[in-house]
Amino acid sequence: MRKPLIVGNWKMYKTITEAVDYVDQVKDALPDPAKEEVELAVPTLFLESLVEHTRGTALKIVAENCFYQDEGAFTGETSPLALRELGIKHVIIGHSERRRLFFEDDTTVNKKVRAALNAGICPILCVDETMKRKQEHDKIVWVVSQVISGLQQVSEEELARVTVAYEPSWAIGSGNEAATPAEANEGCYLIRQTIAHLYSEQAAERVRILYGGSVNLANIKLLMQKDDIDGVLIGRASLDAATFLKMVNYQSC
Ligand code: 13P
């Protein structure tokens, strides 16, 4: 049985004062972590103080990115070892915004996945799908190839520490339509089948797969009811603490 995982992704929003204020509203009001995990991906600058601020609570703080080397002359980058020292458990890798705006290709994404695993951090590997690919009915080749390349040289044992997220960029951000629950489930199912082929049926049954792209109060419950969707990555709707709290209690939405 895969435990639901709800992740808010703040991207580059908020100041540290706003971040602490938000976390104070949320950290002691979460569901039982034995039944559902709740995480917040926050800008690197906030990681240390928010990890301290949430210590002993059910709210886990997650990194939005890291580099693929442990150390070196890489101005502006963040070492996965430094994240581990802070006690960070998860890091988002290969978000479509990183792929599109910062030119991260499949090779870079795979190096980051490997570096995170080597450092003892669990990657959330994001798989994108553009509108062009969708219109050209190219979903299968596109999504499957990102899963295959993202997981190069990841053993089945290591895969147990990987979460995959289906995040079609056509559904991300205001002004875009979320995938319907059926479309989102289809993407997650495709990822699960790819993992079954690459590894085993058991590995595919175990791996958690999230959907991200305009998840909101109106659609979260329907998305979470789908068989292959084990959780969600929430961008804009996670920025408001009260809304996020309602979303983690999605059964009542
Ligand atoms: P939105 O929820 O704002 O569409 O963002 C989704 C996302 O990118 C989560 O990682």
Residue whose CA lies nearest to ligand 1 atom number 5: 235
Q: Give dist(CA 212, CA 231) in Å, integer.
A: 9
Express each pLDDT in 112-139 by its tens digit.
999 999 999 999 999 988 776 677 766 6
pLDDT band at 144 (very low <50, low <70, confident <90, very high): confident
β-pair partners for 128? 167
Query: For 47-155, where are the alpha helices, taking DSSP H only?
Result: 47-53, 80-86, 96-101, 106-118, 131-135, 139-150
215 close to ligand 1 (CB < 6 Angstrom): yes
pLDDT band at 189 (very low <50, low <70, confident <90, very high): very high
Range in 21-35, 94-108, 160-174, 193-207 the model is least confident about: 160-174
Check residue 139 and give its pLDDT.
Answer: 67
Q: Give dist(CA 130, CA 17) in Å, integer.
A: 35
Task: Please provide the average confidence, as pLDDT, over all residues in the chain.
Answer: 95
pLDDT band at 174 (very low <50, low <70, confident <90, very high): low
For the annotated catalytic residues, the residue numbers are 95, 167
Half-sphere CA count of 117, side-chain side, radius 13 A: 22
Alpha-carbon torsion (152, 153, 155, 160), positive or negative: negative
214 close to ligand 1 (CB < 6 Angstrom): yes
Length of the chain: 253
Q: What is the DSSP string of 88-99?
A: --EEEES-HHHH
Please give the number of the atom of ligand 1 that sits closest to the Cα of 97.
8
Check residue 69 and give its pLDDT.
Answer: 98
Give me ligand 1 centre to Cα 214, in Å.
6
Substitution candidate for ligand 1 out of 5, 211, 234 with most atoms within 8 A of CB: 234
172 close to ligand 1 (CB < 6 Angstrom): yes
pLDDT band at 177 (very low <50, low <70, confident <90, very high): confident
Residue whose CA lies nearest to ligand 1 atom number 1: 235
Check residue 211 and give its pLDDT.
Answer: 97
What is the pTM for the complete model shown?
0.96
Range in 74-83, 98-107, 166-175, 189-198 the model is least confident about: 166-175
Does residue 148 surpass a pLDDT of 80? yes
Check residue 138 and give its pLDDT.
Answer: 66
Give me ligand 1 centre to Cα 234, in Å.
5
Give me ligand 1 centre to Cα 200, in Å.
30
Please give the number of the atom of ligand 1 that sits closest to the Cα of 41.
10
Substitution candidate for ligand 1 out of 93, 129, 163, 214 with most atoms within 8 A of CB: 214
Check residue 176 and give its pLDDT.
Answer: 65
Q: Who wins on pLDDT, 6 or 179?
A: 6
Give me ligand 1 centre to Cα 217, in Å.
13
pLDDT band at 61 (very low <50, low <70, confident <90, very high): very high
98 close to ligand 1 (CB < 6 Angstrom): no
212 close to ligand 1 (CB < 6 Angstrom): yes
What percent of the chain is modeled with pLDDT above 70?
96
What percent of the chain is modeled with pLDDT above 90?
88
- The hierarchical CATH code for the domain 5-252 is 3.20.20.70
Express each pLDDT in 211-232 by its tens digit.
999 999 999 999 999 999 999 9
Quick check: 7 and 62 in contact, CB under 8 A? yes
